Every structure is written in C-alpha cells, then in structure tokens.
Structure 1
Amino acid sequence: MTGIVGLGSVGEELLTLLYAAGHRIVAVDTDLDVLARVGRRLKALDDGRADAPEVVLTADHSLLRPAQAVVEAVPEDATAKARALRQVAEAVPPGTPLLTTTAGLPLLSLALASGRPEDLAGLRLFTPPAADGPVEPVRTPLTSEAAAEAADRLVAAAGLRPVAVGAGPAADATALVLGLLNGAVALYDEGYAAHHEIDTAMRLGCGLALGPLEMLDHIGLDTAHAALSELRRTTGDPLFAPAGLLTRMVAAERLGRKSGEGFYAYDETGARLAPADEPSAAAEARPVRLVGVVGSGTMACGIAESVATAGRPVVLVARTAGKAERARQSVDASLARAVHRGRRTEEQRDAALALLESTDDAGRLADCDLVIEAVAEDLDVKRRVFAELGARCAPGALLATTTSSLSVAACERAAGRPGDVVGIHFFNPAPLMRLVELVRTDTVRPQALATAEGFCRSLGKTPVTCPDRTGFIVNSLLFPYLGAAMTLLERRGAGAEETDAAVQQGFGYPMGPFTLLDTIGLDVSLAIQDRLFEHFGTPEHEPSPALRQLVAAGFLGRKNRRGLRTAGPRS
C-alpha cells in the first residue's frame, strides 16, 4: 500500500498513475471538497473496472500506518511541507520511507524538519506527473538506502522517467519557464490575444507540448502563484511578481484542472471541455487564384514552396534573373530533400515545380490576387517594396508582409492601400512549420482578413490572429525568456549546457534556451530584442550586455558555427 498526502495537482496525478498501475492507496487531504472531487474523478475513470484497486480517501493521517511508503505532495511551501512531514512521521512506524515532492526547496532542511532524516528521499517534479513524464529522484547525505530504493520503486511503478538534472539547473529552468508563463498571463490580461490563440501560437511556434496557459492549468494556478511569489521574494526581481490576472483567479479559486476551471474548463475526469461554438461573423473571403511572392531568400523560397505544394500557382519575383533562377533551384532542392525523407512523392514534387514560376519581371505581380512580401527585415526596404506594390498590383489585391516584428501599418501606409494589407508571419522553415501569425491593422477590411485566413488554412497552416504590435505573440513572449537565460550566464556557476538539459528534460521543451538562441542566430536575436526594447522600453525586453558583446565578437550561432552551444574548428 502507498500513502499520498496532499491531493493538489501533483498528488492527484500521482494517485491516478498508481491507481492505473493497480496499487492500493491511502490518500490524505484535509480539504473535504478536494477529497470529494478526487473521489468523483476516480469513479469516472473506474467505469466498472472489475480489478480496481482499493483507494481510501480520508482526512485521517492515522490510516497511513500500513503504508509501505508515503509520498508528501502538499503545496511548495517550506512551512506546510515540514508540518505535513511531521504528521506523516507521527503516523507511520520508523523506517517507513517518506518521499517529498519538492521541486526547489532544500531537501536536507525538510529531512531534518520531518524528524526522520534517514527515512526521507525526494522526488523532484518539474510539472505534475504524467505517464513517461520526468522526475528526478534525489537524496540527502542522511538518506538511507531503503528510502532511496523506495523512491526508485515508486518512480518505476508510476511509469515515470527518471532524469538527472541537479538542483541548480533545475531551479534555473523552473525560474525561466515560470517567467514565460507569467508573461503569457499578462499578455492575455491586457486583451492582446485570446487564451487559445496564445497557447496555439506557443505550441506550434516553439514546439511545446502544452501552451503556457494550458500548462498553468495543469500545474495549478495557486502552485504557480506561490512559486512566482517566492522567486520575487528571494531574487528581488519584479519580473517574478505574479500577473494581476493570476492573483485574481487564485482568489476566485479558479485554480486550473484540479478545480475544474482555470483558463479552460474541465469535466469530472479532469478532461478539458471543448469551448461552446460561437456564431461566426466572418466576412466572405475573396478567391485567391494566383499568389505572388516578392523576394528570393530562405523565407521567400519556403513560402513559394508551401503555396505550390498546396496546389496553387505561385509567381516568385526576384530582383535579378540570376536570383530568380537560384530561388527556383533552392525550391527544387528542398522538394528533393522532402522526397528523400518520405514527406513527398516524385509526382508531388513535379506537380509543385510545374506551379512555380520564378522571374525578375515585377509586372507579373499585376495578375496576382495575393502578393506576399518576403524581403529583408528592414522597414525602409519594406516600405519601398510596398510603395511599388501599391502602384503595380490590381485594385482589391491583398498585400501581405512576412515581418516578424516590424509595423504592418507602416507597410500599409507605404502601399496607399488602407484596408488591404495584413501581416502573414510564416515561421522558418515555412514548408514545415504549421503556425502563421495573422496580423491585423486597425484599418484592415474584414474581407481582407477573411481572405488571408482562408488562404493560410488552404496551405495546411494554423493561423492565429493578433493586432499589429512589435513582436506579435511568439516573439513578445519568447525573447524575454531567452533574455533571462542570457542573464543567467553572468552569474557564477550557471552553465548553458546544464540549463538547456534541465529545460529539455524537466519541462519537455524541444530545445533549451541557449540552443534555441544559436538556432535563431545571436545577431537575429539581438536585432529582435532591440526592436522589442525600443517599442516597450521594459527591462524584460532589454538585451543583455553579454548578448551584445557576443555578436560584436562574431559569435552568431549555428550559421557560422560559433555560438553558445555551437562550436566550430579553431582557426
């Protein structure tokens, strides 16, 4: 029999995993409403299961006495955990392993506070446990072999995946991710984008398993609020002050999945409920028969490939005949790689190439229903392009910029086409990335926006809509997180490799912040942060001196094999 004390986000999920594995469980919580909720969820999961193991849900700690091991999973508060561990120690015989789920509190202090330091081991959980989710079994110098082995057995029984991260990197990774989550709450609170738009953008744009607001619901809003408050207290950094909406939701007991309501709503089993359908007031989209792409770089070629592989004719217009031919060759080579990797067939490659025209004749744009600008990320350059498009393109043609952080309205003014200019921010590599940030100006016509959205969906992309503002959704959340990571490097003992590993292994991110900086390019990252800081003027957007010095010294990341995690041969 296994005991669990505390049925919040961590305790309930651990109970569910052990229940599924057939463990008999005694689960203790002092909140009768919590016990009732967990009971209803277990009943819903049971569904008449004949071999369901015994589960005792109680407020009585004395019923823990027969347990072979007891897991303490109360909220991440040193005082609360110490009190819970002492109660457990009084209820079970000496030698019974005590396992605490602390994420960042000093394990030795908790062990001593329990009065049974030799019986205590730790389970460092970065997020609530899930099947094959990460956990780091930890011990103190006083932990007995029996307690350490009990921790390992429980990890295996629950189907968790043991990782080795370390206390320092784990704390750094947790602070970085909590800062990002807090920023997402603030972005939603100011009304910039809907909660599902923020989550979709970050999932698809950054490869996350859960969007930031989904993750907060999963962690528990009260748990995240307490952790942020503790970081604010210990670091003095105002960026960790919980967002106002987070505080209000905790006060209203909208705590996320565990309470049935947070940023999303949940049913009795804890499954997320689908939102109610709302009547659509979208304008009718205009037909897009021919697409123009202006530019010949990586993004222009990727967009042209995406359009052609979706079965649409596309004209790629470059500045010179040579650039136009090289752009076509680039698309051809990319399609050949897709065939080699099994993503396309030879027939699909041939069909796409037949739909692609590359030329230096800008006059071809006059026949296009939609023209996408994909030139250098320089506002003066984009203004010149849009001035030409405004003069050359047919009346009513939809014009779009692929900018990731510049003003769409400035492009609209240069074109002299109020209402017919949008931002369509493709992510790199455009043929593979599903996300498109669809940016609306204050003057955009509903039909133009509907046309752009329909076009993006026809390419197999997922558009998220947001107002015209520097950084849009992804960059405005991502770069403060990357900037905070850079600041870590100025602290003694912090390491890029260790922090990356902690973020990847602990939180399941596809890559850590330093690898991501190398991938984006340190120079590109600096340019984006400069624009964000120029627009917002807030500390979280200011580039770190270290990043500026790295770029000045020629460290650009993966592109020149000199970066934070990328090393080339010494010259």
Structure 2
Amino acid sequence: MTTIQNVAVIGSGTMGNGIAHTFAQFGFKVSLIDISQDALDLGLNTIGKNLERQVAKGTLTEQEKLATLSNITTFTDMKAGVANVDLVVEAATENIDLKLKIFKDLDSFTTDQTILATNTSSISITKIASVTSKADKVIGMHFMNPVPIMKLVEVIRGYATSDEVASLTMELSKKLGKIPTEVNDYPGFVANRILMPMINEAIYSLYESVAGVEEIDTVMKLGMAHPMGPLQLADFIGLDVCLSILNVLHEGFGNPKYAPCPLLVNMVTAGYKGMKTGEGFYKYTAGSKELEVSSKFKM
C-alpha cells in the first residue's frame, strides 16, 4: 500500500490553506499551489495567524508552529507543485468546469500511483474521475471549515474508487486527528444534502417575512442547540458556495425541494456573498466581533 509523505494542495483560499495547515502540522511535506503569488502569500499569512492562535491557546508550541510553516512550500506552477507527491488534494472554487480542468491536468502531471482527492462539497466524484485515466485513484476528501479545528472528514468513493485508496484515505484522515466517515457518491453527499435545505428554508423564512434575520437564527440556536444560526452560517460558508451546492442538488435530483430561494440568488448576483465580501445577512466590520444585521434586513 502507498505511503503518504508528500502532499500537494491546490488552492490557498479558506479551505485550501486550512488543509495545508493541517497536513503540515502533522508532519507532512506540503506543496501549496495557486495561480498567483499574492494568493499564496495571503494563504500563508492566514496559516501563520491561525498557528499563532494555537500557540496562544497552548495547543501548540512555538517550535511546532515554526516546524509547521517549514513544511509548506508554495508554487504557482501546478506541474512543478505536484511532481513527486503521493497525494493531491484539490481545494479550488466549487465550480465543476474548473475542477474538471484541474483533474485533466493532474492526470497528465502526476504518476499512476498518485492519489487524486477533491475537497468538493457536493460535486460528483465519479464525474470528476471520468476526465482522468485513473478513476480508481480518485476520491472525495471533504473537510469541514475551519479545517484545523473541525474533526469530520467525509470520505466519498467514486464509482470506480479502489478499496485500497478508500482504506488509505480513511487511515490518513485519522493520522490528521480527524474522524473520517465514508459516504456514497450522490449530490451533496450527507453533510450538505441535509445542511443546505435547512439553510435554504431559513432564507425562505426570511424571504416570506416569517421572521427577521436575528429571530430566525435565535430560534435555531436556542431551540435546536445549534452553535450558529443558519443565516450566520450561510454567511460564514459563503452565499455563493451555498447557491452552487443547492444548484448541484437541484440539478442532480431534479427535485424542486432543492431549488434555491430567489432571495439567495439575488444576493449572490448583487455581490452580497457573506463574510468574504463584508456583507450578507449580517454586516462584517474588520476587527469587530459584534454581529450587525445587514441594513437590507433591518426591521
């Protein structure tokens, strides 16, 4: 069975830098790949800040922080970045055309032994694997945000994923201090098939004036013991990501219950994507931890 030592992570955004951080913290050599050095520098800066928080909390030593950072090398050239790695984890934007292009390139840039994983939160692993010549080596490795903290990894087998690759991915996830859960390859897998309709229903409740933003979130936090209300969570995930996942569910199942709320569609179209853009259902001010409802929804 292949031994995983060297890992490439494609994408240095929220999920990518979190995945790189986690692998590097557990002693893996990581090639972090993105299209620009500016994006990579931003990703490394985020990793550095998150490591500092771990040191401040006493969960990591200063020496371990430095060792983690030294395990990460950045690349703007994908071919160079994935050379001689045992595993690639793709963590690019949740866009099927982009992911298919990346996997076509990976098929020619990597060896026949390299495992190709995707962090997709909803797109078919089987479809992604179909553009490669080694579908048996393609698997879903869906981490949760924030990656260094959240324990779950959804491990999704494509139709042709081998038993060996599935077993290796499960064991690898455990080495990262995670709890892997194997699920089958259907739209949204398990996490988002259940989560996104809930978020969509919360948005419909706002759209239909059942209650305001804070009221909806308060009901779910206090009544259902959720640590974060669904509208705040949607902002945290990214409203554009929520919309993409709902579209995958709606198209994949052909069931109208997954149709995204028109309010969500309008917000994303207008550029209100949540925390990443500074405003969604709430308004986000740099340096402030106070939640303020967007002026669009103040009652």
**2:174 aligned with 1:462:** no
Query: Is the 1:497–1:565 contact (alpha carbons within 8 Å) kept by the matching residues of 2?
Result: no
2:57 maps to: 341
1:375 maps to: 92
Provide the rounded CA distance (Å) in 1 between the counterparts of 2:271 and 2:40.
Answer: 30
Provide the rounded CA distance (Å) in 1 between the counterparts of 2:274 and 2:81.
Answer: 38
Q: Could you tell me how far 1:366 is from its partner in structure 2?
A: 2.4
Aligned residue among 1, 8, 14 for 1:292: 8
Residue ranges of structure 2 left out of the alignment (5+ in a row): 284-291
1:60-459 equivalent positions in 2, closer than 5 A: 285-361=1-77, 362-459=79-176
Q: Could you tell me how far 1:441 is from its partner in structure 2?
A: 0.8
- DSSP 3-state at the match of 1:287: coil
2:288 maps to: none
1:460-499 equivalent positions in 2, closer than 5 A: 460-499=177-216
Query: Is the 1:320–1:360 contact (alpha carbons within 8 Å) kept by the matching residues of 2?
Result: yes
- DSSP 3-state at the match of 1:358: strand
Superposed CA deviations along residues 41-95 of structure 1, whole A, max 9, x for unmatched, are xxxxxxxxxxxxxxxxxxxxxxxxxxxxxxxxxxxxxxxxxxxxxxxxxxxxxxx
Q: Could you tell me how far 1:364 is from its partner in structure 2?
A: 4.1
Provide the rounded CA distance (Å) in 2 between the counterparts of 1:545 and 1:288.
Answer: 45
Q: Could you tell me how far 1:534 is from its partner in structure 2?
A: 1.2
- DSSP 3-state at the match of 1:414: coil
Query: Is the 2:213–2:293 contact (alpha carbons within 8 Å) kept by the matching residues of 1?
Result: no
Counting matched residue pairs gives 286
The amino acid across from 1:331 in the alignment is I
Provide the rounded CA distance (Å) in 1 between the counterparts of 2:21 and 2:95.
Answer: 23
Provide the rounded CA distance (Å) in 1 between the counterparts of 2:116 and 2:186.
Answer: 18
Provide the rounded CA distance (Å) in 1 between the counterparts of 2:160 and 2:83.
Answer: 23
Superposed CA deviations along residues 163-204 of structure 1, whole A, max 9, x for unmatched, are xxxxxxxxxxxxxxxxxxxxxxxxxxxxxxxxxxxxxxxxxx
The amino acid across from 2:138 in the alignment is V
Q: Could you tell me how far 1:327 is from its partner in structure 2?
A: 3.3
- DSSP 3-state at the match of 1:471: coil
The amino acid across from 2:130 in the alignment is R
Provide the rounded CA distance (Å) in 2 between the counterparts of 1:435 and 1:333.
Answer: 22
2:286 maps to: none
Root-mean-square deviation over aligned CA pairs: 2.1
Provide the rounded CA distance (Å) in 2 between the counterparts of 1:560 and 1:568.
Answer: 14
Query: Is the 1:439–1:467 contact (alpha carbons within 8 Å) kept by the matching residues of 2?
Result: yes
Query: Is the 2:280–2:294 contact (alpha carbons within 8 Å) kept by the matching residues of 1?
Result: no
Residue ranges of structure 1 left out of the alignment (5+ in a row): 1-284
TM-score by length of 2: 0.88
Q: Could you tell me how far 1:558 is from its partner in structure 2?
A: 2.6
2:235 maps to: 518
**2:252 aligned with 1:539:** no
- In structure 2, the CA distance between the partners of 1:364 and 1:489, relative to structure 1 (3 Å rule), is closer
Q: Could you tell me how far 1:391 is from its partner in structure 2?
A: 1.1
TM-score by length of 1: 0.47
Superposed CA deviations along residues 116-158 of structure 1, whole A, max 9, x for unmatched, are xxxxxxxxxxxxxxxxxxxxxxxxxxxxxxxxxxxxxxxxxxx
The amino acid across from 2:47 in the alignment is V
The amino acid across from 2:17 in the alignment is C
- In structure 2, the CA distance between the partners of 1:356 and 1:561, relative to structure 1 (3 Å rule), is closer
- DSSP 3-state at the match of 2:149: coil
**2:276 aligned with 1:559:** yes
Provide the rounded CA distance (Å) in 2 between the counterparts of 1:462 and 1:549.
Answer: 37
- In structure 2, the CA distance between the partners of 1:321 and 1:554, relative to structure 1 (3 Å rule), is closer
- DSSP 3-state at the match of 2:249: helix
Provide the rounded CA distance (Å) in 1 between the counterparts of 2:42 and 2:202.
Answer: 38
Query: Is the 1:291–1:368 contact (alpha carbons within 8 Å) kept by the matching residues of 2?
Result: yes
Provide the rounded CA distance (Å) in 2 between the counterparts of 1:309 and 1:489.
Answer: 41
2:289 maps to: none
Q: Which structure's CA Rg is the greater one?
A: 1
The amino acid across from 1:408 in the alignment is I
1:260 maps to: none
- In structure 2, the CA distance between the partners of 1:487 and 1:336, relative to structure 1 (3 Å rule), is same
- In structure 2, the CA distance between the partners of 1:533 and 1:569, relative to structure 1 (3 Å rule), is closer
Q: Could you tell me how far 1:509 is from its partner in structure 2?
A: 1.1
The runs of at least 4 consecutive aligned structure 1 residues that moved more than 6 Å come to: none
**2:189 aligned with 1:507:** no
Superposed CA deviations along residues 367-413 of structure 1, whole A, max 9, x for unmatched, are 11111111222122112211121112122111111111112122212
Provide the rounded CA distance (Å) in 2 between the counterparts of 1:470 and 1:399.
Answer: 19
Query: Is the 2:86–2:114 contact (alpha carbons within 8 Å) kept by the matching residues of 1?
Result: yes
Query: Is the 1:294–1:317 contact (alpha carbons within 8 Å) kept by the matching residues of 2?
Result: yes
- DSSP 3-state at the match of 1:367: coil
Provide the rounded CA distance (Å) in 1 between the counterparts of 2:100 and 2:116.
Answer: 12
